[in-house]
Structure 1
Amino acid sequence: MNSELVIEIATHAVNTILRIGLPLMLVALVVGLLVSIFQATTQIQEQTLAFIPKIIAVLVAVLFFGRWMLGVMVDFTYNLLDNLYNFIG
């Protein structure tokens, strides 16, 4: 196994992680921004107010994107294990 192969595997792993995490991070970002705008307009300065809506939104996003996320992870793992004989030799 040469260094180019290790870098290629690491690149695919990072790409997979970003593809899986991006929808959840975007949902948390949008909800946090909306809560911040709400706090600014109502002048409520409670720092813990943003956590509950973000947690609920991310849980709903996991329910919505969960099947797709699992499919991406299974595809990556299947491809990695399917090409295992190339990595050993």
Structure 2
Amino acid sequence: MTPELVMDLLGDALYLIVLIVAVIVGPSLVVGLLVSMFQAATQINEQTLSFLPRLLITLATIMVAGSWLITKFTDLFDRLFTNIPLMIG
């Protein structure tokens, strides 16, 4: 196994991690920002107000994009497992 191959595999794995985190956390960050802007405009200083909308959006995102993310994850591992003989030899 060459260092170039290891770096390529590591790059693919890190890209997949960033993609999964961005898809799940991104909408939550947007909703948190909108709720914070609403709180600033209305001067409501409640710390727990943004928790429920962010939780619901995160769960909805996982429900909607979960199958696509699992497909991306299994594609990476299928490619890894099918290429094991080529990587070793």
Under a length normalisation based on structure 1, what TM-score does the superposition of the two structures give? 0.92
Query: Aligned equivalents of 2:86 and 2:22: distance in 1?
Result: 30
Q: Which of the two has greater helix per residue?
A: 1
Deviation (angstroms), 1:27: 0.4
Residue 31 (str. 1) matches residue 50 (str. 2): no
Under a length normalisation based on structure 2, what TM-score does the superposition of the two structures give? 0.92
RMSD of aligned Cα (Å): 1.0
Structure 2: gaps (5+ residues): none
Q: Percent identity?
A: 39
1:69 aligns with 69
Deviation (angstroms), 1:17: 1.3
Query: Aligned equivalents of 1:24 and 1:40: distance in 2?
Result: 25
1:58 aligns with 58
Task: Say whether the 8 Å CA contact 1:20–1:72 is kept in structure 2.
Answer: no
Deviation (angstroms), 1:87: 2.1
2:7 aligns with 7
Query: Aligned equivalents of 1:15 and 1:9: distance in 2?
Result: 10
Query: Aligned equivalents of 1:45 and 1:86: distance in 2?
Result: 59
Query: Aligned equivalents of 2:42 and 2:77: distance in 1?
Result: 48
Residue 19 (str. 1) matches residue 19 (str. 2): yes
Aligned residues: 89
Query: Aligned equivalents of 1:16 and 1:81: distance in 2?
Result: 16
Deviation (angstroms), 1:67: 1.0
Amino acid paired to 1:45: N
